[in-house]
Amino acid sequence: MKHMNKPVILTGLRANNNLHIGNYLGALLPIIDMARKRAGEYQVNLFVPDLHSFTTPIDHSALQAAIMQNLRVFVAAGLPLDNPDVHVYRQSYIPSHSELTWILDCFTGMGEMNRMTQFKDKAGKSQEQVSVGLFNYPVLMAADILLHRASYVPVGEDQTQHLEFTRDIAERLNNRFGELFVVPKPVQEQHKFFGKDQGLRIRDLQEPSKKMSKSEDSRRGIIYLTDTPGQAHKKIMSAETDSLGKVAYDAGTQPGISNLLTLLALISGRTLDDVQNEYEGRTQYGPLKTALADTMAEFLQDFQDKLAKVDEKSILNKLSVSEKQMNEQAGQVLLSVQKAVGLRE
Ligand code: AQP
C-alpha cells in the first residue's frame, strides 16, 4: 500500500479511566468535527493508546473493557465509522509503535525528558510507583504521531510540550538521515487549524487552579462522560468560584468563573465572546452556573442515549480493517527508519 497523500489528523485517548469532559473537548471533539465536516480532504486517525494506559498504575483486569468503552465513546461522539478516510485502531495492535519508540529513545536526551512538566506533575502524585514508562511516554507519543505522518494532532494544552518534542525529534532525525518523517505543524498553526487561539485546559470544578484530570481523586470536580445528568448538574452548581462577585473572563484571577464560561461556550456550541457578552459584569454567579448545569445535563443525556445504542460489532469490523491498513502504512515508515539507522539493507 502506498502512503496516502492526504494530510493526516491524529489523536488518541488513554483507556485508563472514564473519559471526562476535558478529554472530550480538548481532543475528541476537534478530530470528530474534522472527520464529519471535512471528510475527503484528510485522513483521520483516532486510536486507543493502550500501551500508554498503564504508565500509571491501573486495574489490568479491567483494561479490555476500558478499551472497548473508549471506542464506544468515539462512536457516540459522532465518529463516522463508515468513512474510508477514518481509521480506528488500538496502538498495541501496530507493533511498529513500540519498535520506533526504541529507536527514538536512542536519539533522545535524558535532559529533554527530565524537562517534561507532565512527568513531574504525575510523578509527584504517584510517588510510590513512578515507572520508566511514565518517564518515557512522550517518546512513545512521538512514535504514535510520526509513524502515521500526522500533520495535525488535536490535544489539550497539557500536551503542548510533548508535541514540541515530537517536532524536535522528527527534525533531528530528518537532518541527520534525510526526510524520514512528516514534521507535525507548529503548535500555533495547529490551534488555527482547529479554530482556536490557544490550547484548551478545562479546569477541575473544585480546584480550578488545576486541570480536570482522570487520575485526580477529586471526583466532585470532574464531569465524566458517564455521569448521570443529575450528578453533573450538582457538580456544576457546587463548583468553586471566588468572592469577587463579578463575572469576568480572567483565568489568572477568576479561574473558576473563566472555566464555567469556557465550558458553557463549548458545550452549547457558542463563541466565548457571545457567552462573555451575556454574562460579564453580572454580580451573581448563580445564573451562569444554572445555564451551564442545564446545558451540560442535556448534553450528557443526549450523549448517553447515543452511547447506549452503539453497535460493538461495527467497531470490531472497523478495527480489523483499520489495523491491517495501519500496520502496512506504519510498517513503511518504520522500514525507512530501520534502513536509515542501519538495521536493514
Ligand atoms: N483538562 C483538560 N482540558 C483539555 N484537554 C484535556 N486533556 C486531558 N485533560 C484535559 C486532553 O485529553 C487527551 C487525553 O489524553 P490521555 O488520555 O492521554 O490523558 P492525559 O493527557 O494523561 O490527561 P487526563 O485525561 O486528565 O489523564 P491524567 O489523569 O492521566 O492526567 C489529551 O489530548 C489531553 O491533552
pLDDT(216) > 80: no
Q: pLDDT at position 188, please?
A: 94
pLDDT band at 121 (very low <50, low <70, confident <90, very high): confident
pLDDT(217) > 80: no
pLDDT(39) > 90: no
Q: pLDDT at position 19, please?
A: 93
Tell me whether residue 214 is one of the annotated catalytic residues.
yes
74 C-alpha to ligand 1 centroid (Å): 15
Tell me whether residue 120 is one of the annotated catalytic residues.
no
- Domain locations in the chain? 8-195+311-340, 229-307
Q: pLDDT at position 9, please?
A: 96
Amino acid of residue 44:
V
CA distance 85 to 77: 17
Shortest-distance atom of ligand 1 to CA 11: 33
Residues 101 and 55 sit within 8 Å (Cβ to Cβ): no
Least confident of 29-43, 204-218, 282-296: 204-218
pLDDT digits (tens, 9 = 90+) for 313-343: 999 999 999 999 999 999 999 999 999 999 9
Return the best residue to mutate from 117, 214, 217, 267 for the ligand 1 pocket (most ligand atoms within 8 A of CB): 214
Scan for cell 518523517, then name that residue: 181
Q: pLDDT at position 1, please?
A: 46
CA distance 100 to 141: 10
pLDDT digits (tens, 9 = 90+) for 245-260: 999 999 999 999 999 9
Q: Count CB atoms within 10 A of the CB of residue 48.
A: 25
Tell me whether residue 211 is one of the annotated catalytic residues.
yes
- pTM, full prediction: 0.92
What rounded mean pLDDT belongs to the chain? 94
Query: Does 155 contact ligand 1 (Cβ within 6 A)?
Result: yes
137 C-alpha to ligand 1 centroid (Å): 14
The SS3 call for residue 199 is coil
Which alpha helices (H) appear in the chain, and where do they start and end?
21-23, 29-37, 63-76, 96-105, 110-114, 117-125, 132-146, 160-177, 187-193, 229-237, 255-268, 272-279, 286-308, 312-340
Residues 199 and 25 sit within 8 Å (Cβ to Cβ): no
Quick one: CATH architecture of 8-195+311-340? Answer: 3-Layer(aba) Sandwich (3.40)
Contacts 24+ apart (CB under 8 A), 192-199: 193/152, 194/30, 194/34, 194/152, 194/154, 198/157, 199/26, 199/155, 199/156, 199/157, 199/158, 199/159, 199/160
CA distance 208 to 298: 23
274 phi and psi angles, rounded to 5 deg: -60, -45
Atom 25, ligand 1: which residue's CA is nearest?
214
Higher pLDDT, 124 or 339: 339
pLDDT band at 127 (very low <50, low <70, confident <90, very high): low
Q: Count CB atoms within 10 A of the CB of residue 190.
A: 21
Q: pLDDT at position 162, please?
A: 97
CATH for the stretch 229-307? 1.10.240.10
pLDDT digits (tens, 9 = 90+) for 128-140: 678 999 999 999 9
343 C-alpha to ligand 1 centroid (Å): 35
The partner residues of 90 in beta bridges, in order of sequence, read 48
